[in-house]
Structure 1
């Protein structure tokens, strides 16, 4: 089986995002715009470049400047990303986000020492309100990060991280 082209990858991801954000119209709007910008960025040729400048530029201006959602188009994000409220979400472009991940308001995924030592968030992870995940850490599949937790160590799959002590329970 061959890898999906940009258009097909967009359709697959957008369908999953639409289902994941079914009752959140703002999140559906942001994720559709995000996927469109990613689709045009992945394309080739002058039309794709022009469309990316228009779609990607307007996406960045509106989501970062007016909505307070910093989810760069260059960030690899699996299908089915759930944005809950979205305000104050900051994602470093070097972070990687798996499929079916939930980001709530005030979440930060960022670097710690260098510009590219960012988190890897595996599939089916939920990150609570105000949580901060920094550095080159991996949050394992199915893990839950509680509200206001600060994570700077690897989190095993299925674990729960609670605040304020960032206690890890496997």
Structure 2
């Protein structure tokens, strides 16, 4: 096991302390990435077996789509982990937090995906699509839909809910 791989595992472990499911998924994810990066025949066979089981369990059972081909920095934090969808062309920096229901994906072509810089927190249900950059330390609120660049340290709030009060017609019925 090389030092870079150990450092990734150590950072993921520290970032997800107390989140057993997240630790399991990320360890499996990093193992897939490690075998995927090698070119010898044994490694290719090991990757295919490992990646198939990873995909079956994480996508079909746990509802987490985080492909091994995705570039992800150390210390990714997964919170709850249900309904996370990440396009393989997305780039995720160090110390990023993904909460449940997050979508990071393409907009027009298969590879026009976001770049999420280091230390970004993404709220539950947020959708970030297109060839955009989310700057270092930005915070994306729950249910926000982001389709343009976000400056470092910025906060993106979710859309303001529109609440309409019921009105009474002359005969007293609500409409």
Q: In the alignment, which residue of structure 2 is the partner of 1:139?
A: 134
Q: Which residue among 13, 18, 24 is the counterpart of 1:29?
A: 24
Q: After the TM superposition, which parts of structure 1 deviate over 2 Å for at least 4 consecutive aligned residues? A: 6-9
Can you give the 5+ residue segments of structure 2 that lack an aligned partner in the other structure?
Answer: 161-175
* CA positional deviation for 1:7: 3.3
Q: Which residue of 2 aligns with 1:61?
A: 56
Q: Alignment partner of 1:112: what SS? A: coil
Matched, 1:20 2:20: no
Counterpart of 1:161 in structure 2 is 156
Secondary structure, in 3 states, of the residue corresponding to 1:74?
coil
TM-score by length of structure 1 reads: 0.92
Secondary structure in 2 aligned to 1:109? strand
In structure 1, C-alpha distance between the alignment counterparts of 2:7 and 2:32, rounded to whole Å: 15
Q: Which whole-Å deviations, capped at 9, do the CAs of 1:29-63 have from their partners, x for residues lacking one?
A: 00000000000001120111111011111101110
Deviations 1:72-97, CA, capped at 9 Å, x for gaps: 00000000000000000000000000
Please give the root-mean-square deviation of Cα atoms over the aligned residues, in Å.
1.0
- Aligned position for 1:80: 75
Deviations 1:117-154 (A, max 9, x none): 00000000000000000000100000000000000010
Q: Distance in 1 between matches of 2:154 and 2:52?
A: 38
